[in-house]
Amino acid sequence: MTDTAAAAGDVKPRRMLPSERRDDLIAATLSLFGRKPHHKVTPADIVAEAGVSRALFYRYFSSMDELNIAALEKVTEGLTAQLLPPEDEPLVGQVRHAIHELFSFARAYPTPYIALVRRGPGVSTPGAYELVEKVRTDTIDAILARARAAPTPYLLLTVRSWIGLLEGTVLTWLTDRVEERALPRHELEDWLLGQLRAMVAATTEFDSGAADLARGLQ
């Protein structure tokens, strides 16, 4: 469908509540993100994907930047929920789950993932960095709270460093997959858990509080 056809009123969107319509435009954006470099997604793509008029697009979003940030909010909200499994599982299982979910997320949204982690072009969207930082902070807080470990400076530094290592490894895996030279995902997931255990254990020499998390990871 061309943009002109949509604007000319060939499209008959079914009646939706304003909040539903907004969510629908966000869903169309997310679906496009999985198929196209996200900084190349235009309002014309969105209206074609959602089957609505261009005028309708601008009734909900003043610009592509505004829609981008709304889509990113949706994605990062979902990601935080996805990363944290029910608390009744042992901590190791929870961490394994979080690692697994981040790989799945990166595969579902490769171009936004790459752009956000690399902070390359296309993440000029104001507020994007803050949203990603919030996922990081929430994840770190949850890991420490669930291990009943105090957020001392060395423990925070260790877990934060490991989050960086996790993001970087998933990024490498994602880009290596294209060239069919990625290490096997399930092996990388084990390796990542092993790295966290080793890093936390090494930190106990600097911060006795790290022992609480080290125990939880056994």
State the minimum distance, in angstroms, from the CB of residue 51 to a second copy: 38
Region 176-215 residues binding a second copy, contact defined as CB under 8 A: 183, 187, 190-191, 194-195, 197-199, 201-203, 205-206
Q: Between the CA atoms of 74, 165, 145 and 89, what dihedral angle is there, to the nearest 10 degrees? A: 80
Span from 22-30, 80-88, 116-124, 135-143 in contact with a second copy (CB under 8 A): 116-124
**Measured in whole angstroms, how far is the alpha carbon of residue 189 from the centre of its chain?**
17
SS (H, E, C) 175-202: HHHHCCCCCCHHHHHHHHHHHHHHHHHH
DSSP structural state of residue 38: G
> For a second copy, which residue of 1, 153, 186, 208 counts as binding (CB under 8 A)?
153
Does residue number 175 form part of the binding site for a second copy (CB under 8 A)? Answer: no
Does residue number 120 form part of the binding site for a second copy (CB under 8 A)? Answer: yes
Cα–Cα distance measured from residue 5 to residue 2, given in angstroms and rounded to the nearest whole number = 5
> 139, 163 in Cβ contact below 8 A?
yes
Residues that bind a second copy in the complex, under the rule CB under 8 A: 118-120, 153-154, 157-158, 160-161, 164-165, 168-169, 172, 183, 187, 190-191, 194-195, 197-199, 201-203, 205-206
